[in-house]
A and B are shown apart, each in its own frame.
Chain A
Amino acid sequence: EAQVTQNPRYLITVTGKKLTVTCSQNMNHEYMSWYRQDPGLGLRQIYYSMNVEVTDKGDVPEGYKVSRKEKRNFPLILESPSPNQTSLYFCASSSYSEEQYFGPGTRLTVT
């Protein structure tokens, strides 16, 4: 089954404790992206990647890091999480001009 998987689905952590949210797709898509969803703001793009070893900043990259060492994986790293990073996070993938497939989401709470 074609899918985008994210782990963990739920995470509660404390300020400053480094964390990684994993994202993996099995569709051989070139394009992968991370978004955060906040009430009233819709989805905002954090980082995206056009292919292996190619990443670019989206609209809200501050406080986040990504890497794309393999085509199927695109982990999101929060080196020092803060409460304002409490949000619902989505990973997505697509072929270049096609629609994105979204993962199920990761709900992160930073206290």
Chain B
Amino acid sequence: AQSVAQPEDQVNVAEGNPLTVKCTYSVSGNPYLFWYVQYPNRGLQFLLKYITGDNLVKGSYGFEAEFNKSQTSFHLKKPSALVSDSALYFCAVRDIFNKFYFGSGTKLNVKP
């Protein structure tokens, strides 16, 4: 079965420190990969995507993600976290049939 895993329900990091939010997937073919962020009582906002090309993808608000085909991973990273980055982050995969699969979400807490 197709699936997306975000192994950490919550990630805690101090402001100014680097952050990583993990995502692995089990989807056949060459899927499209996405990261979205959700702030309280809001819809999801797009951060970045990988379709093809360079394995390191840069996105909005200083976020980047590294695609690793052999490990089927697409981890979200940021060199220096801000308190305002605190939110719920979702990894998503679009398969070759144009169906989407989302991870269960990771709550990022950035402390001052």
Contacts and interface: CB of A to CB of B under 8 A. Distances in A.
Bound pair (A, B): yes
Interface of A: 4, 31, 33, 35, 40-45, 48, 50, 56, 58-59, 90, 92, 96-105
Given A97-B51, A99-B34, A43 B43 contact: no
B105 A45 contact: no
Contacts of B101: 45, 59
B96 to A, nearest CB: 12
B43 A42 contact: no
B14 interface: no
A109 to B, nearest CB: 16
B7 to A, nearest CB: 13
A50 B49 CA distance: 20
B31 to A, nearest CB: 12
Given A97-B51, A99-B34, A99-B49, A44 B102 contact: yes
Interface of B: 4, 6, 9, 32, 34, 36, 42-46, 49, 51, 90, 92, 97-105
Given A90-B43, A90-B44, A102-B44, A48 B90 contact: no
Contacts of A31: 98
Contacts of B42: 104-105
A50 B98 CA distance: 8
Contacts of B98: 31, 48, 50, 56, 96
A33 B49 contact: no
Given A45-B100, A45-B101, A59-B101, A100 B43 contact: no
B107 to A, nearest CB: 11
B22 to A, nearest CB: 14
